[in-house]
Amino acid sequence: MRRCRLRKEELKAIFTALEGTHRVIGPKLEGKTVVLSEITFDDLPAGATDEQGPGKYRLKDERSDSVFSFSPGPDSFKKFLHPPVQEVWKFKYSPKEFIAENLPGEERPLAFFGVRACDLAALGLLNKVFLDGPGPDTGFSRRRRDMLVIAVHCLSPHGNCFCESMGTGPELRGGFDIAMTELEYNFLLEAGSPSGERMLELLHCEDAQEKDLRDRDALILSCKKMMTKTMNTGDLPDLIYRNMEHPHWAEIARKDLECGNCTMVCPTCFCNSAFDRLSFSSLSKNREERSGDRKKTWDSCFSKNFARVHGGNFRHSRKARYRHWMSHKLAYWFDQFGTSGCVGCGRCITWCPVGIDITQELEALRSVR
């Protein structure tokens, strides 16, 4: 695949090439937070820097000369493929028939811009959830159709990153159409698919040099050395299964607020609930005919009613709900999909109001009580 370099002042050319053909989704500043939204080139929060720690996210006052000097915020690209609220279908029914109408697809395909390695790995895991099972999610599949992924190597981690220990970053490891590396004066662009190759042809960038590749590797290695947080995964999932009754689960529950923030910001959590709504207008017009729609919304295993079934609730305690969430990420996913459900992005640590750190809680389970 082709490699070339694009001068930093010409980065806008990527947006120009996508104009009119794709909805570009990428980072922008909203208030004092970097979020993901439909953007133009002028929306990029170039030079913004942030500080993250357990239960802490702050934009710094100082600016950087780099474009991608900021870390991912609370949003992940998941919300554009598996939206927080989505209409699944519309329906009409009468005593004679039931008609379900599938919704139309996107007018323009999505182009994800600035995807980090952890989020790229998360998108691959969501494919396993929504596409590889016996009943693929048609909405997810429809939104992925003709999608373009322009990803960027992470070169400076925030305080809660532990992607290297999860094998998901900071370098990009496939699944992209174009990979970007921010160098001193240029962006190194590498095609990862035929679509990426065609995109590079539109940019008229110059061929990359061997020095550009060496600089890329050196910057990625430097990022790995700056990453201080790790997760020891060598004995997963057995560690979780051996400690389902460990007293530390109760200790976590005493500080857990059960707000569900960790599940909302997690790029791989996929719990959802669906419900049907009847149209009031259909009720008033004809007593025998009804119309309405089915909606699907994000849900959370931290919700008290999520595990409520006929006859009771099989996760009635806060301890049971946290244990289920962490066990699903670090144990059940291995059984279901052959891999961990955690990509090491650290969002659950940053956006937990009390700073619960999943890497530390896992280590606590290794202690003998």
CA–chain centroid gap for 17, Å, is 25
CA–chain centroid gap for 79, Å, is 8
Contact by Cβ (8 Å): 147, 109:
yes
Neighbours of 167 (CB within 10 A): 13
Three-state secondary structure call for residue 221: helix
What is the per-residue pLDDT for 288? Answer: 67
Q: How far apart are CA 80 and CA 130, in angstroms?
A: 14
Q: How far apart are CA 154 and CA 172, in angstroms?
A: 8
Q: How far apart are CA 333 and CA 326, in angstroms?
A: 10
Helix or strand (DSSP H, E) at 264: helix 261-265
The structural domains of the chain, with segments of one domain joined by +, span 3-226, 238-365
Q: How far apart are CA 12 and CA 2, in angstroms?
A: 20
Phi, psi of 83 (to 5 degrees): -60, 150
CA nearest to 138, candidates 184, 179, 96, 104: 104
CA distances (Å), origin 251, targets 125, 182, 256? 30, 43, 9
Helix or strand (DSSP H, E) at 86: strand 85-93
For 72, which DSSP code? Answer: P
Q: How far apart are CA 190 and CA 5, in angstroms?
A: 9
What is the per-residue pLDDT for 71? Answer: 95
Q: How far apart are CA 212 and CA 182, in angstroms?
A: 10
What is the per-residue pLDDT for 213? Answer: 96
**Residue 74 preceded by cis peptide, ω within 30:** no
CA nearest to 177, candidates 17, 346, 68: 17
Print pLDDT tens along the chain (369 aa): 899 999 999 999 999 999 989 999 999 999 999 999 999 999 999 999 999 999 999 999 888 999 999 999 999 999 999 999 988 888 887 777 878 777 766 678 999 999 999 999 999 999 999 998 777 888 899 899 899 999 999 999 999 999 999 999 999 999 999 999 999 999 999 999 999 999 999 998 999 999 999 999 999 999 999 999 999 999 999 999 999 999 999 999 999 998 999 999 999 999 999 888 877 665 555 666 778 888 899 999 988 888 777 777 788 889 999 999 999 999 999 999 999 999 999 999 999 999 999 999 999 998 865
Judge residue 228's burial from the number of C-beta atoms within 10 Å of its C-beta, 0-12 exposed, 13-18 middle, 19 or more buried. Answer: exposed
| Alpha-carbon dihedral 37, 41, 46, 52, rounded to 10 degrees | 10
Q: How far apart are CA 154 and CA 223, in angstroms?
A: 7
What is the per-residue pLDDT for 353? Answer: 96
Phi, psi of 304 (to 5 degrees): -60, -30
What is the per-residue pLDDT for 107? Answer: 76
Contact by Cβ (8 Å): 363, 235:
no
Contact by Cβ (8 Å): 56, 355:
yes
